[in-house]
Structure 1
């Protein structure tokens, strides 16, 4: 039985509590990530490298501390947003933030946000690949991997409810979910009075994207056992 089938038995993917993808801090960049707020195809290689190094440190510490809480032979199942591609800047892991960056850059064009503020703002998050997860679990050494797999969930998926309005308004649902995560970070860099406008633009961009493209989140699910 696949891990995702077990999770479905326990209430469905909509009820899963995600492990935190957030980094402890924004990586230290040698170069500015100009025009972006996360990794993208236009980010300098040093930015991609800095994001991975920060993730390597944070995820290794996470495994270390969790191993101290578990008895020998104890098990842990993690699920978090990731990517299947080996390219850290692929759309699989970065698109939701790329679209938010587009909303911010529209406000730069309109003269409501300074370009420098966008260039110096970066989301402290990392979406890993299965190969990266496996490498870091093996390298840290506290756990063995029982199973490691990925699943796909369409951006429209909000919860295991039959309310069609929720599924038919995916742009609104996604923008609301991302706002809950990103707004506390955005208000530290941009005028709090602009938040409604930022996420109104974001909703419009997301809705347009969802009408033209196949938009899916990649979930990574890994079952671990603490080494004896």
Structure 2
């Protein structure tokens, strides 16, 4: 990249207010963990498979993103903002209010399935995937009926130093 060239990144992160002293709302990833744990308790998944399943994931604070970019030194931050996006944000507004909780849950689950299916099938086996996402869609739908589940994103605009 040439000096002065610009780049904009959107990064999944966490909110400054989401710490242990504030009431915690589960992330969508934590719902996956709950579903997998339930399936272990019911004997549908071997506990050893769950114990060996690891997807390293860290949602950085906006301040951490800023500090890392500044410490690396290759870019100058022009703007850094955080915003929330509802888990069902890509549902057309004309239909969102008329959908029942299970339809919304299925919609969110399909998006997550596109991301996670191959990883889960490879580790746990194809036979659990349909059951897992069916349960996931119900749990997410019920949760979203009372709480607006949200992703926290950071958008950073920067220029090559």
TM bucket, shorter chain: 0.7 to 0.9
Q: Where do 5+ consecutive residues of structure 1 fail to align?
A: 1-69
User: Structure 2 vs 1, CA of residues 167 and 114 (structure 1 numbering), >3 Å: closer, same or farther?
Assistant: farther
Cα distance in 1, alignment partners of residues 104 and 121 from structure 2: 24
What residue number does 2:69 align with? 137
* Counterpart-to-counterpart distance in 2, 1:208 and 1:155: 13
Q: In structure 1, what is the Cα distance between the partners aligned to 2:98 and 2:158?
A: 33
Is 1:156–1:167's contact at 8 Å kept on the other side of the alignment?
A: no
Q: Which has the higher contact order (CA 8 A, sep 6+)?
A: 2
88 and 115 in structure 1: CA distance in 2 versus 1, 3 angstrom threshold:
farther
Work out which of the residue numbers 115, 122, 129 in structure 1 matches 2:54: 122
Q: Structure 2-normalised TM-score?
A: 0.86
Question: CA offset at residue 80 of structure 1?
Answer: 2.2
Q: Show the counterpart of 2:16.
A: 85
Q: CA RMSD in A?
A: 2.3
- Give unpaired runs (5+ residues) of structure 2: none
User: Closer, same or farther in 2 for the Cα pair 1:166/1:173, shift >3 Å?
Assistant: farther
The TM-score with structure 1 as length reference comes to 0.62
CA 1:188–1:124 in 2, change beyond 3 Å: closer, same or farther? farther
Q: 1:105 aligns with which of 34, 37, 49?
A: 37
How far apart in 2 are the matches of 1:117 and 1:85? Answer: 33
* Superposition map of 1:61-210 within 5 A: 70-85=1-16, 95-158=27-90, 161-164=92-95, 168=99, 169-210=103-144
Distance 1:204 1:122, change over 3 A: same
C-alpha displacement of 1:170: 2.4
Which moves more between the two structures, 114-123 or 83-92? 83-92
Which runs of structure 1 show a deviation greater than 2 angstroms over 4 or more consecutive aligned residues?
85-92, 165-170
Equivalent pairs counted in the alignment come to 156
